[in-house]
């Protein structure tokens, strides 16, 4: 990988500004947790696993900012830090997973002095990043066999190194297949309204020398019907107990088209993206974002003033359309409710 998505450096959080790609490769530095929270909310960093890493680092930064003479005061203020970060984006479960992990680590080290607790939280945040890299490589290894030699793979949104600490989930599977020497090609949906496929996925793949063709979202069905797509791999922001999967808006449409054209549709995601407390995808909260994201493209207005807008950032793909969920522990197929529970229990 020729770039770093996010890292802890000199007691600051450094992340690539994804809102400025592909035109500029700019890295922002944050030395306070509110800055990290705004970066998550403002899409400077996005993608469920990367949001989780950012959340963990934000909590560690927040702990360093706290001025407290007692443990009671420190932990009260730490709860406030976690609440601020937790209010940034509601759909990606990795955000809440990371916050809860940091809270547990802090509580389990309550016997230490406050300075030591801060250092423990910093070490844990760095560990979350390192683990994510290892997990994504495992997802890639497990998923690479589903991509056959000479295959054309469609992906939607960006589930690559930019959506994780590095390497990627869906793009991790594609990268692993490419690294294995398979002659593969990628079709990238542009992914309106934020154009993550056009701005981010195409940029990543081109940097890695993986052949990529950019198409607009409404072209996917045509290429499937023509027989030019062999399989589809996407990421996930939250997976319910029955396998229903929330991902970037437009994923559901791709899954329905894949089913119609008998093309296997795979989801690649770490186990931290599973939310087995939710029975089905109907229970997943869906973030609605600012209407200007739809009425404007890169700051240019493309719709009439005052037009009514809906802007859900995610949709939910029913499990029946998913050929397999690729995780760091293997691929789950069929009875998702039973198999996902077993996976978590391992």
What pLDDT, on a 0 to 100 scale, did the predictor assign at position 346? Answer: 67
Question: What single DSSP character describes residue 113?
Answer: -
Average pLDDT of the chain is 96
- The whole-number pLDDT of residue 3 equals 84
The domain locations on the chain are: 6-137, 143-345
- Written as tens digits, the pLDDT of the chain (346 aa) is 568 899 999 999 999 999 999 999 999 999 999 999 999 999 999 999 999 999 999 999 999 999 999 999 999 999 999 999 999 999 989 999 999 999 999 999 999 999 999 999 999 999 999 999 999 999 999 999 999 999 999 999 999 999 999 899 999 999 999 999 999 999 999 999 999 999 999 999 999 999 999 999 999 999 999 999 999 999 999 999 999 999 999 999 999 999 999 999 999 999 999 999 999 999 999 999 999 999 999 899 999 999 999 999 999 999 999 999 999 999 999 899 999 999 988 6
Instruction: Tell me if residue 28 falls in helix, strand or coil.
Output: strand
CA distance 177 to 295: 38
Beta bridge partners of 274: 239
For β-strands 185-189 and 212-215, DSSP reports them as parallel
pTM over 0.85: yes
- Annotation says 237 is catalytic: yes
SS3 state of residue 201: helix
How are strands ordered across the β-sheet holding 12-16? 6-9, 12-16, 27-30
Rounded to 10 degrees, the C-alpha dihedral 33/38/44/48 comes to: 80
- Contact of 37 with 203, CB cutoff 8 Å: no
Q: Are 210 and 177 in contact (CB under 8 A)?
A: no
The fold for domain 143-345 equals Rossmann fold (3.40.50)
Q: Give the bridge partners for 13, in sequence order.
A: 8, 30
User: How far is residue 272's CA from residue 269's CA, in Å, rounded to a whole number?
Assistant: 8
* 326-343 pLDDT per residue, tens: 999 999 998 999 999 999
Assigned fold of 6-137 = 1.20.120
One DSSP character per residue, 154-173 reads: EE-S--BGGGSSSSBSHHHH
Neighbours of 130 (CB within 10 A): 12
- Determine contact, residues 212/184, Cβ cutoff 8 Å: no
Task: Say which of 189, 237, 244, 315 is annotated catalytic.
Answer: 237
Contact of 195 with 208, CB cutoff 8 Å: no
Nearest to 273 by CA among 241, 243, 317, 237: 237
C-alpha dist (Å) from residue 317 to 175, 245, 252, 321: 24, 5, 5, 7
Q: State the Cα–Cα distance between residues 245 and 299, nearest whole angstrom.
A: 31
């Amino acid at each position: 990988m020729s770039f770093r998505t996010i890292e802890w450096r000199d007691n600051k959080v450094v992340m690539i500004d994804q809102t400025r790609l592909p035109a500029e490769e700019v890295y922002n530095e944050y030395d306070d947790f509110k800055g990290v929270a705004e970066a998550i909310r403002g899409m400077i960093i996005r993608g469920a696993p990367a949001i989780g890493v950012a959340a963990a680092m934000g909590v560690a930064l927040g702990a360093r900012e706290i001025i407290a003479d007692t443990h009671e005061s420190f932990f009260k203020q730490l709860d406030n830090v976690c609440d601020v970060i937790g209010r940034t984006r509601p759909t990606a479960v990795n955000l809440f997973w990371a916050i809860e992990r940091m809270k547990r680590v802090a509580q389990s080290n309550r016997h230490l002095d406050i300075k030591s607790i801060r250092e423990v939280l910093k070490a844990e945040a760095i560990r979350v990043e390192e683990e994510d890299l290892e997990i994504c490589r495992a997802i890639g290894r497990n998923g690479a066999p589903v991509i056959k030699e000479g295959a054309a793979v469609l992906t939607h949104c960006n589930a690559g190194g930019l959506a994780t600490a590095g390497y990627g989930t869906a793009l991790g599977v594609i990268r692993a297949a490419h690294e294995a020497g398979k002659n593969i090609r990628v079709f990238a949906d542009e992914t309106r309204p934020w154009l993550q496929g056009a701005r981010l996925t195409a940029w990543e793949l081109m940097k890695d020398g993986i052949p990529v063709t950019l198409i607009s979202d409404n072209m996917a069905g045509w290429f499937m019907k023509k027989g030019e797509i062999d399989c589809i791999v996407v990421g996930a922001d939250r997976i319910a107990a029955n396998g229903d999967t929330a991902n970037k808006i437009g994923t559901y449409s791709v899954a329905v088209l894949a089913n119609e054209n008998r093309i296997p549709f795979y989801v690649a995601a770490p186990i931290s993206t599973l939310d087995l407390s939710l029975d089905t995808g109907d229970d997943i909260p869906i973030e609605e974002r600012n209407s200007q994201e739809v009425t404007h493209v890169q700051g240019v207005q493309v719709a009439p003033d005052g037009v009514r807008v809906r802007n859900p950032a995610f949709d939910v793909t029913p499990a029946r359309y998913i050929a397999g969920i690729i995780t760091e522990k293997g691929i789950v197929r069929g009875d998702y409710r039973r198999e996902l529970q077993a996976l978590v229990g391992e």
